[in-house]
Amino acid sequence: MPTAAGNKGMDRLLFGDNQFFGVNHVSETKAMAQLMQFQDDVEIIRVLKDVSDEGIKTFMCTTHERMEGIADHIRQHPQDFPDFKFFPCMPYAHKYANAVTEEGILGTLRKYLPEDGMMSSILKGGVALANKDVEFIATALIDAEMKMFHGLSTPVIFLQNVVVDLLLGLKFHEAFRIFAAHVRRRYNAEPGFITMNLPALLDALEVVGEENPIVCANFNKIGFRVSGGQEAYLAALAKRKCRLIAMSVFASGAIPAEEAVAWVCAQHNVESIVFGASRRSNIRSTRDLVSKYSEAEMRVS
C-alpha cells in the first residue's frame, strides 16, 4: 500500500470503525444488522486482523468504550498486527452526553478528569471558575481519552466533527490551537480535525497558524453529505494547502466502487481515503482499487 507523500505517519488507505457501531447514513436496517454482527469484540478483532493481513495498517477509530478492549488485544498480540497504527478520534460524544444526563456537568468532570489540586479547585469553584480553565479541562480530557491507547502507535490524533463544527459555529478558534499544541507536545503526534464544513475549517485553522493541516471530511463524486456543496470544497482545496482524508467516498453505495475511487484519487490535495467494511473480499477490493488509481495518478503527475 503506498504511503502518501509528505507524511510518513499517514497511509493512502485508512480503515474506519463506523460499521462496528451501527453507523450507516442511508439504511437504518443495515446499521442495526451491523450493530448486531459486531456486538462481540471477537468479531471486531477478526475484521481488524483481515485488515492488517491485507496490508492496511491504520485504524481510524472513535474513543468508544469498546475500543479499550480492542486496544488491549492488539497490545497483547503485536505479532498478529505488525506495524499497526491507531488514529484516535475524540471525543466520543455519546459517552459524555450520557454522563451529563446521568450525573450533570460537574459530575461528568469528576468522572473523567484527574482528581489533582487544580481539578479540585475548579470543582469547588463551580462552572464559573471552570470556564476560566478551558485549556486545563480540554487537555485533561484529551489525556483521559488517550489512556486506552498507551503503548500503541498513534501518529495522528483527531478532534471529532461534533466538537470541531460546534467550535466553528461559536468562533472559538483558539480551541483548535490548544488541541493541536497539546497533541504535539504530549503525544509527539500530529493533530487532525474532522469536519462537515471544510471551507470554514480551513479558514479557521489558517487564523490560528495551522499550516498544511490534516483534515477529514466527506468528499465524493456526487457531493453526498458534502455540506455547502462540492464546488465550495473543490475551490477550498484548490486555493489552500491541506492534507485531506476523504470519507464517504462511496456515498454509502450510491457510486460504483471503481468510479468512486478513480474520481477521488484524481482530486487535488487528497492524501488519504478512509473506508469501512466487514468482509475481507470488500477490504481487498478497495485496497486494490486505491492502489491502482493512486499509482495511475502518480504517473500522470
Secondary structure (DSSP) of 179-238: HHHHHHHHHS-EEEEE-S-HHHHHHHHHHTT--S-EEEEE--TT-TT-TT-HHHHHHHHH
Number of domains comprising the chain: 1
Per residue in 109-152, pLDDT (tens digit) is: 566 655 555 445 444 555 444 444 678 778 888 998 999 999 99
Would you say 31 and 22 are in contact if contact means Cβ atoms under 8 Å apart? yes
Q: Indicate if the pLDDT at residue 25 is higher than 60.
A: no
Q: Is residue 220 part of a domain?
A: yes
Q: Indicate if the pLDDT at residue 84 is higher than 90.
A: yes
Distance of CA 88 to the CA centre of its chain: 6
Assign 254 to helix, strand or coil: coil
Per residue in 237-247, pLDDT (tens digit) is: 999 999 999 99
Q: Is residue 68 part of a domain?
A: yes
pLDDT at 111: 62
Q: Is residue 193 part of a domain?
A: yes
290-300 average pLDDT score: 81
Q: Is residue 132 part of a domain?
A: no
CATH number at residue 254: 3.20.20.100
Q: Is residue 115 part of a domain?
A: no
221-229 average pLDDT score: 91
Domain residues for 294? Answer: 13-93+146-300
Q: Is residue 112 part of a domain?
A: no
What crossing angle do the helices spanning 134-146 and 117-125 adopt, rounded to 10°? 120
* Interacting residues of 45 by C-beta distance below 8 A, sequence separation 6+: 70, 73
Q: What percent of the chain has pLDDT over 70?
A: 77
Q: Is residue 120 part of a domain?
A: no
Q: Indicate if the pLDDT at residue 287 is higher than 90.
A: yes
Would you say 15 and 276 are in contact if contact means Cβ atoms under 8 Å apart? yes
Set of cell numbers at residue 115 = 482528581
* Confidence (pTM): 0.85
Q: Indicate if the pLDDT at residue 227 is higher than 50.
A: yes
Q: Is residue 270 part of a domain?
A: yes
Least confident of 5-9, 73-77, 99-103, 289-293: 5-9
